[in-house]
Amino acid sequence: MRTRARRRGGDWTLDGAKHWITSGALADVAVVWAASEEGVNAFLVEKGTSGFESRVIKNKLSLRASSTAELSLVDVRVPDGARLPEATGIKAALKCLDDARFGISWGACGAARACIDTVLRYTQSRELFGRPLSHTQLIQARLADDVRKLTAAQLIAWRLAKLKEQGAAGSAQVSLAKWNNVRAALDIARDCRDMLGAAGITLDHVPMRHMLNLETVITYEGTESIHELIVGRALTGQPAF
C-alpha cells in the first residue's frame, strides 16, 4: 500500500493515489485506506478537500455504464476525527471482500441467464435451411451445456447463501463461488454470442455486452489466480501467495 498517512499535530496528512475506484468522481466522501507508522488506517476524505482530486477514467471497453475514477491525494490534511477508529489493519480493509464476492457470484448467474434466454428466443425465430435453429442438434447441445453450467453455478450460490445465513461460510467457499460462477458466466456469454452469429456483435442482443462486462468482473474483487490460491491454502493448509 503506497498511500501514506502521517500525523501532523492533531491532524493527518495523506499522500498517494487510488486507481479504478467505482463512483470515485461522483461520491461526496471517499473512504481512503493508507499505511502509517501505526499500521493501516481508513480515513473519510470529503470532496473539495484541498489536495484531493478525482478524475474519470475514460475509453473503457467494459463496464461502460459504471463511472470509474482515479483519486489523487497530495498533502491532503484531515482531522483525526476523519479516521475510522475501529478500521485498523489490512484485515479490516479486506473483510468487505467476502460480501462483495458473494454478491458477484449471484450477479454472474443473472448475466448468464440473460444470455441463454436471448439465444433461446433468437434460435426459435431464426430459420436456416428451412427450419428454426433451435431444431438443430448442435444448438440444442450447446444450450443444454450452457444450462448445465448455469444450474451448477446457481446451486453453488444458493448453498453459499444458506451457509452465510448460518454464519458458517468461509472465505475459501466464497472464493470458490466467485471464481466458478464468473468463469461459467463468461464461458456462457461467449458461447451465446457465437450462437447468435453476426447478430451477436450488435446492440440488439445482450450476450456481447455481458461478455465484455464479465471480462472485468472476472478480474475485480480478486482474480482467478487469487481465488485458486485461497482455495489451495484451504485445501493444503499452506499459503502460497
Instruction: Report the catalytic residues.
Output: 221
- Beta-carbon-side half-sphere exposure of residue 20 (alpha carbons within 13 Å): 8
C-alpha–C-alpha distance, residues 128 and 218, integer Å: 35
C-alpha–C-alpha distance, residues 144 and 140, integer Å: 6
CB within 8 A of 177, min separation 6: which ones?
Answer: 101, 102, 105, 156, 157, 160
**Which run of H or of E encompasses 225?**
helix 224-236
DSSP-assigned letter for residue 50: T
Task: Please choose, from the candidates 193, 111, 120, 119, the residue with its C-alpha nearest in 3D space to the C-alpha of residue 154.
Answer: 111
Task: Please choose, from the candidates 204, 23, 178, 46, the residue with its C-alpha nearest in 3D space to the C-alpha of residue 100.
Answer: 178
C-alpha–C-alpha distance, residues 176 and 15, integer Å: 36
C-alpha–C-alpha distance, residues 233 and 227, integer Å: 10
236 three-class SS: helix
